[in-house]
Chain A
Amino acid sequence: EAGVAQSPRYKIIEKRQSVAFWCNPISGHATLYWYQQILGQGPKLLIQFQNNGVVDDSQLPKDRFSAERLKGVDSTLKIQPAKLEDSAVYLCASSPIRDRGNEQFFGPGTRLTVL
């Protein structure tokens, strides 16, 4: 079974530039998550999709971050404009259904450096 795919793996940008990350979840997984992991911290949930609808975006900085999940499969996370504090690893995860007992399957992440 193929895992969660993410691209790019690394990205370096200047502050105030824009950037986009792509995620392809495990086939058939209805729930998709984007996390931000700052160095030395645990991952923090940014947004959660159930199929192509948003079920939780309470911790997404909506003035600069946006995300979409077209057709309930792939997802894109965008930052515009980027700030220095956005430097982090952005992790995508998926799970079969939205259930508290289900584990989440994580992709390798995209490491963003904002200069």
Chain B
Amino acid sequence: AQSVAQPEDQVNVAEGNPLTVKCTYSVSGNPYLFWYVQYPNRGLQFLLKYITGDNLVKGSYGFEAEFNKSQTSFHLKKPSALVSDSALYFCAVNTGFQKLVFGTGTRLLVSP
């Protein structure tokens, strides 16, 4: 079965510091990987995706993600965190049946 795993329930980082939110995947064939962010009482918002090509993908709000085939990872990164980045982040894989399978989510807390 195709799946993603987010090993950290929560990530804490100080404002201005770089952040990383981890995701590993288990996919047969080429992975179609996504990152979404969820703010309180709001739906999920698309951040970025990896389909093919360059392993470093740039997305919304200054976020980027690095696809690593040998480590089966797709970690979300940002060079300098903002307090407003505090939210719930979900990694997801789109299976061959156009179904998004989500990870359990990682709560990011950025302290001032």
List chain A positions with a Cβ less than 8 A from chain B.
Answer: 4, 31, 33, 40-45, 48, 55-56, 91, 93, 98-101, 103-109
Contacts and interface: CB of A to CB of B under 8 A. Distances in A.
Contacts of B44: 43, 91, 93, 106
B105 A107 contact: no
A101 to B, nearest CB: 5
Chain B interface size band reads 20 to 34
Given A98-B98, A100-B94, A109-B43, 9 more contacts: A31-B98, A43-B102, A48-B99, A93-B44, A100-B32, A101-B49, A101-B51, A103-B34, A109-B42
Interface of B: 32, 34, 36, 41-46, 49, 51, 90, 92, 94-105
A89 to B, nearest CB: 9
